[in-house]
Amino acid sequence: MSFLLKRTIYALVTLLVVSLVSFALMRSLPASPIDVMLGSAQKDLSEADLQKVKDELALDRPAEQYGRWLLSFIDSNQAKSNLAMGLSYKDGRSVKEVIMERIPATVALVGLSLLISFAVGIPLGGGLAFLEQEKRQDKSRSGTRVFAASVQTFMAFLYALPNFFLAFLFLALCAVLPWLYPPPSFTIFGGNQGQWFYLIAPAFILSLRRLIKAAFYTRSLLIAELDKAYVIAAKARGLSFSRIFKHVLANCKLPLAGLLSVQIPALIGGSVLIETIFCIPGLGRLSVESALSRNYPVMMGLTMLYGSAVVLASFLSDLFSRRLTINED
């Protein structure tokens, strides 16, 4: 219980610090939300009217503005309603409503990317470790050495390429071969039958670097584990490779659980550019739109949502690692 209490307090303090830093950075941005809200109509208003709008939003009083935003989470009446994160400066809708309608697309993109990165990366890393073992056991098999080195070099080359470059490269290829990718009419959980096919390419591009990292990490873990004394003893006793490999994988669960907590924040952060490039109406694209329009309430809501997702992923990873450690003891 003490572990859960400590981790909960740590998470709350982390989110509070994130909110303070984010609010300070947003206030330092040039231009004003008034420019977004009123647009060209601003020149038709008097100074008194403009000052009234600023007073209502507490734009001239940042401490009060932050206090209002923070108290909206504590106030039970506002927390239950759509006013917990304020109203969007752009269209006057509640921030909660604006964010909620974008969550499904991002969850689908990040979830599919996470599935691809682990479902492909871990077996690929196991295959690379197996090739390494074959190369060590039989020095004469030069073909195995060349193949393993070529695969790893190609993977390292792909890892060096940024996601946005691969995304633009893919779209350039689609201009030549339009059947590779359907038109951008993405609707998640709707009636569009091609929506999941539309999501595969962005999810794969987003997961590619994570996939390669998982593969190399798994390879290193397995090679280090296969060199340990208990594996050598098991081989001497004549145990099959499949039985030995099961024990090796069991001992690698804890480090791989730690890798999961690193992958999720990276995928969430990478989804911003991917959603923007592929016109996916998710949280990443919303964050870009909100930043360009100085929509402070939506930006704060997204920052806290992203921060909560990262903290939750870290919390679950620590909890899972602790559970595995207790079970092993």
**Per-10-residue mean pLDDT, the chain, length 329:** 76 84 76 64 67 69 75 59 66 82 88 90 84 68 72 88 88 78 52 61 90 89 80 76 73 75 81 87 86 81 84 75 59
User: Would you state the pLDDT for residue 41?
Assistant: 61
User: Would you state the pLDDT for residue 212?
Assistant: 92
Q: Which residue has the tokens 């008097």?
A: 46
Nearest to 318 by CA among 248, 251, 262: 262
Give the helix/strand (H/E) hosting 290: helix 283-292
User: Would you state the pLDDT for residue 192?
Assistant: 46
φ, ψ at 237 (rounded to 5°):
-80, -5
Q: Is 265 exposed, middle or buried (0-12, 13-18, 19+ CB in 10 A)?
A: middle
| Separation between Cα atoms, residue 120 and residue 116, nearest integer Å | 6
Tell me the whole-structure pTM to 2 decimals.
Answer: 0.78
Domains and their CATH numbers in the chain: 15-99 (no CATH), 103-281 (1.10.3720)
| Separation between Cα atoms, residue 6 and residue 85, nearest integer Å | 27
| Separation between Cα atoms, residue 82 and residue 93, nearest integer Å | 9
